[in-house]
């Protein structure tokens, strides 16, 4: 099986191919068609098997096919939320979102603790299509009134077992 057999758009496939991939891993081959169909997916696989692409690729495609929403701040409404247990993983996931979404008109941001909040607050006010966050900083932004999750259509819990 090849990536072009999974139902991904040409723009997503261009980014995948530019990253040097042609053949999906087993987790990708199983998860991508289900996620593209809008179904809930629970995936478990070893480190290095492409789990991030397994949820990122269909998420990007579904969002690119949909209509942008507005947030209560007047900016772009967050339509996808990816929660990760660590800031290192959050940064890696957001980099994957940028890499695979480079040919799509979507925006993303990453928020996590240990750094200043002001740039993150500004990003939330401007709005993004995809937000990658750690739970602590997400709660901080929400409690301070800087977060509007009313437009979220896709929720990803990456390494959910580590957030328990």
Q: What is the CA radius of gyration of the chain?
A: 15
The DSSP code for 77 is P
Of the chain, the end-to-end C-alpha distance in Å amounts to 35
Give the global pTM: 0.94
From first to last of the 164 residues of the chain, give the pLDDT tens digit.
899 999 999 999 999 999 999 899 999 999 999 999 999 999 998 888 899 999 999 999 999 998 888 888 888 899 999 999 999 999 999 999 999 999 999 999 999 999 999 999 999 999 999 999 999 999 999 999 999 999 999 999 999 888 87
């Amino acid at each position: 099986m090849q990536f072009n057999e999974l139902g991904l758009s040409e723009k997503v496939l261009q980014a995948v191919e530019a990253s040097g991939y042609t053949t999906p891993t087993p987790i990708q081959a199983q998860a991508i068609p289900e996620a593209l169909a809008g179904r809930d997916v629970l995936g478990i696989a070893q480190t290095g098997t492409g789990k991030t692409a397994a949820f990122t690729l269909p998420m990007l495609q579904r969002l690119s096919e949909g209509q942008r929403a507005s947030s209560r701040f007047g900016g772009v409404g967050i339509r996808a939320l990816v929660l990760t247990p660590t800031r290192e993983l959050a940064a890696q996931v957001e980099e994957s979102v940028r890499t695979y979404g480079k040919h799509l008109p979507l925006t993303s941001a990453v928020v996590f603790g240990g750094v200043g909040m002001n740039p993150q607050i500004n990003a939330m006010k401007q709005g993004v299509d995809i937000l990658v966050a750690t739970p602590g900083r997400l709660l901080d932004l929400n409690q301070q009134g800087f977060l509007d999750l009313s437009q979220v259509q896709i929720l990803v819990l990456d390494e959910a077992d580590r957030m328990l």
